[in-house]
Amino acid sequence: MAIKGGCLCGRVRYEIAGRLFNSSHCHCSMCRRQHGAAFATYAQCNPDDFNWTSGAELVKVFETIPEAGWCFCRECGSTLAGTVDGQVTSITLGTVEGDPGIKPELHIFTGSRARWHEITDDLPQFEEWPPDNREPPGKAP
């Protein structure tokens, strides 16, 4: 069964035919600013499994580095996905409808976490990228 999701105003919708993997809570300063929260939660997907089902013309990509960035809805501002080389490679778990079939596995970039936020769960924490050479939430294996 496909994973479905969309933005706050409902004009942009997506579908993922495959599974999600490598879910993490990112505490970097860019994610905190972009989401207006203590952290952002992402999961990776295979780019070949991702499809905008409606509102693709409303999707704007903000590139944080050349060839990589975040997709958001121009209408309501919802952050929906991450891109690498023009392909969606990760999604924000908060935009998934129903059970995404995955739970966050770790916290990343805790070295720049909001000082007003305490991490109280038992998930592994990494000040930057994990040492197991896990790809960032913008790159599929």
Structural domains in the chain, sorted by start:
3-112 (2.170.150.70)
The pair phi, psi for residue 79, each rounded to 5°, is -85, 125
Cα distance between residue 5 and residue 109, in whole Å: 26
Structure-token match 């129903």, residue found: 98
Chain segment 67-111, per-residue pLDDT in tens: 889 999 999 999 999 999 999 999 999 999 999 999 999 999 999
Structure-token match 């490679």, residue found: 89
Residue 30: its H or E element:
helix 29-35
The pair phi, psi for residue 51, each rounded to 5°, is -150, 130
| Residue 141, pLDDT score | 36
Average pLDDT value for residue range 9-21: 97
Residue closest to 35 by CA, chosen among 84, 105, 82: 82
| Residue 87, pLDDT score | 95
Residue closest to 62 by CA, chosen among 39, 50, 79, 43: 79
